[in-house]
Amino acid sequence: MMGGVVLSACLALAAPAPAANTAVDLNLFSLNPADITIDQGDTVTWRWIGADKNHDVVSYPGEPEAYDSHPGIPALDAPPGGTFAHTFTTVGVSRYFCSNHSNMQGTVTVRAAAAGAVQDGTAAEGAPAGQLAKPKGCISKRNFRIRLRQPRGSRLRSATVTLNGRPVPVARGEGGRLTAPVDLRGFSTGTYEVKIKARTVGGRTLTGTRRYRTCAPKLADTALPPL
Host domain of residue 151: 143-214
Mean pLDDT of 119-129: 38
Do residues 55 and 95 both lie within one domain?
yes
What distance in Å separates the CA atoms of residue 104 and residue 90, rounded to the nearest whole number? Answer: 23
Instruction: Confirm whether 11 is domain-assigned.
Output: no
pLDDT confidence band for 86 (50 / 70 / 90): very high
pLDDT at 14 over 60: no
pLDDT tens for 135-178 read: 445 667 788 889 888 888 788 999 999 887 778 888 888 788 89
Do residues 21 and 102 both lie within one domain?
yes
pLDDT at 12: 45
Mean per-residue pLDDT of the chain: 76
Higher pLDDT, 129 or 22: 22
Mean pLDDT of 128-141: 49
Do residues 76 and 147 both lie within one domain?
no
Residues 6+ apart with CB under 8 A from 90: 40, 64, 65, 110
Under a CB-based contact definition with an 8 Å cutoff, are residues 143 and 63 in contact?
no
Do residues 97 and 30 both lie within one domain?
yes
pLDDT tens for 92-101 read: 999 999 887 8
pLDDT at 22 over 50: yes
Tally the domains of the chain: 2
What distance in Å separates the CA atoms of residue 34 and residue 110, rounded to the nearest whole number? Answer: 14
What distance in Å separates the CA atoms of residue 21 and residue 13, rounded to the nearest whole number? Answer: 22
Do residues 80 and 28 both lie within one domain?
yes
High-pLDDT (> 90) share of the chain, %: 29
Mean pLDDT of 32-51: 92
Question: Of 111, 127, 158, which marks where a domain is finished?
Answer: 111
pLDDT at 122: 38
pLDDT at 199 over 60: yes
Q: CATH no. for residue 191? A: 2.60.40.1220
Instruction: Confirm whether 129 is domain-assigned.
Output: no
Higher pLDDT, 115 or 91: 91
Do residues 93 and 171 both lie within one domain?
no
pLDDT at 107: 94
pLDDT confidence band for 34 (50 / 70 / 90): very high
How buried is 202 (Cβ within 10 angstroms: 0-12 exposed, 13-18 middle, 19+ buried)?
Answer: exposed
Do residues 147 and 192 both lie within one domain?
yes
Q: CATH no. for residue 33? A: 2.60.40.420
Instruction: Confirm whether 227 is domain-assigned.
Output: no
Long-range own/partner contacts, residues 151-156 (CB < 8 A, 24 or more apart): 151/200, 151/204, 151/206, 151/226, 151/227, 154/200, 154/201, 154/202, 154/204, 155/200, 155/201, 156/198, 156/199, 156/200, 156/201, 156/227
Do residues 87 and 27 both lie within one domain?
yes
What distance in Å separates the CA atoms of residue 57 and residue 71, rounded to the nearest whole number? Answer: 10
Higher pLDDT, 79 or 83: 83
Instruction: Confirm whether 158 is domain-assigned.
Output: yes
Instruction: Confirm whether 195 is domain-assigned.
Output: yes
